[in-house]
Structure 1
Amino acid sequence: MDPVYLILPYLIKAGKEGKFQPVDQVVVDEEFPACSRLLNCTYSLRNVAEEKEVGSLKFHRYSQEKTMDWLKKKVERTVLVLKKRNISVGEGVKSTTCVKVKSESDWREEDYLRYAHGLISEYISEDLSKALLKHLQLPELTSPKETEPPSKKRKLSDTPVEAGEDYTKFNSADFVRKPPKKMTAAQKSLAKVDKTGMKTMSSFFSLKVKAEKK
């Protein structure tokens, strides 16, 4: 990986002051002291920063224009590697299985540029990634949500969505109904019998009260 990717955030931060500064005063991080090792990799800073020499000292200032041109070259070189290795890109890839669904002749140059842009974006900030996309003259892709069928879209609103009817009322005891039990054939026959004058079964098992002897 090009170490300039790691130096860029420090250059951009210092570049907000708009003045030339020595690199050893730019690449400073109290939370990550080991960043000083990057000072041994400053030979390519002229690709992303303006350079000024005063005597034996060199001063640098971040340049957005140079950075965009440098990143564009990175993208173009990545495209060449993708083509050389016959890597499926863009619409030529189906899902994450990398299955080719169309021939190489159908792949557009834009597909390669977008794929390469995505790879380079892994090493830069989101703001730089968006700026590079414009520098490559690539329009932003349509949001997948806008292409979904209306039935699958979620309606966005600042107010919470409420149900049109209170379904909690069906949890009350009035709406709890037990399913009727099915009667057996014997029970159905017994139900048809005239029970007038007949004793209940429980009467045969009741306790008999003995009369007290006088």
Structure 2
Amino acid sequence: MLTANQQRICIGPVVPRNAEDPITVLLPSPSSGHPSRYVIQEGRLYEMQMIDSEGLRSWFIGDTIQSDGSIYIITLLDPIFMFIPILEFARLKTSKSAGRFLALSDIFESDQYTSLRHLSHLINTESYLSSICEVQESRDTMTFRLDDAKVMTWLKRKVQVLEEKFLTIPALVDSIAYTESMSEACRTEAIIQSSLKLVSAYLPDSWATKLADEYQFPELDKLESRTQLPLISDFGKRSGMDMDEDAKPKETKKPKMTVGQRKLAKADKSGMKPLSSFFAKKTT
């Protein structure tokens, strides 16, 4: 049971009354590699986002006052976003080799991130992995290796799904300069670009750039010299409650950039720990 000092105000999905207790786990953020907090319950993965009160308010909880006036938002996260950077590191791809196939238990083995083992027990983990991996099956085991073509197909489908649902979500519509003065072509491109940026917020820079290079926005490029569309902010980069308090502020990269980098204006990750550092074996 939580003490008064441990209580927090959380907003999350409705779960059955007899659902198992949620567990909070420390995992590398799929976009930055920073250690971040996530929640696992009933075989599903959730991200935690904190809306900071900046110390300006408190909560009354029962007969107590909770000084932390922040709100914690818990939302369902597609685990494939988490799997992509893990699998990319684990396959050990080189210029001479497509990399290695790994069993489920080996993919999520880490001395520094022991909570990774919980990912192997999520609902439909093998199905998720199959959607982005080459799969080898033997009589009693399945092994997986990340397949770049499958990953790109899956990511583009994610963008498409967001595009199709965009106009039904007011918060997304409000995130772009969606005005009657815009041409239909510009509005369509703005919706696709915003959907692309939202998906990319859950990806490492390398994959965000590859995904951006799959898209062209000729009408928005024409508009760029006259106005700047207020696209979706970097809210996705705050997912998982980044635990690295020393993280440097995001800085816009300077030219020379690729087309994909210019589209996404990705942040400079210098000074951040690479994802591979979290999977290295401890030395004695």
- SS of alignment partner, residue 75 of structure 1: helix
- 2:116 maps to 1:30: no
Unmatched tracts of structure 1, length 5 or more: 93-99, 148-155, 157-214
Higher-Rg structure is 1
Residue of structure 2 equivalent to 1:130: 209
- 2:137 maps to 1:53: yes
Calculate percent identity across the aligned residue pairs.
21
Q: Deviations over 1:127-162 (max 9, x none)?
A: 1100011123458x98xxx99xxxxxxxx9xxxxxx
Match of 2:167 among 83, 95, 98: 83
Residue of structure 1 equivalent to 2:149: 65
Report how many aligned residue pairs link the two structures: 138
CA RMSD of aligned residues (A): 2.9
- TM-score when scaled to structure 2? 0.43
Residue of structure 2 equivalent to 1:209: none
- SS of alignment partner, residue 111 of structure 2: coil
- SS of alignment partner, residue 201 of structure 2: helix
1:196-207 paired onto structure 2 within 5 Å: none
Residue of structure 2 equivalent to 1:194: none
Match of 1:108 among 168, 171, 187: 187
Residue of structure 2 equivalent to 1:3: 79
Q: Which amino acid aligns with 1:134?
A: D
- SS of alignment partner, residue 135 of structure 1: coil
Give the ranges of 4+ consecutive aligned residues of structure 1 lying more than 2 Å apart after TM superposition.
Answer: 83-86, 88-92, 100-109, 135-139
Instruction: Name the one with the larger strand percent.
Output: 2
- TM-score when scaled to structure 1? 0.56
Alpha carbons 1:75, 1:116 under 8 Å: kept: yes
- 2:95 maps to 1:16: no
- SS of alignment partner, residue 123 of structure 1: coil
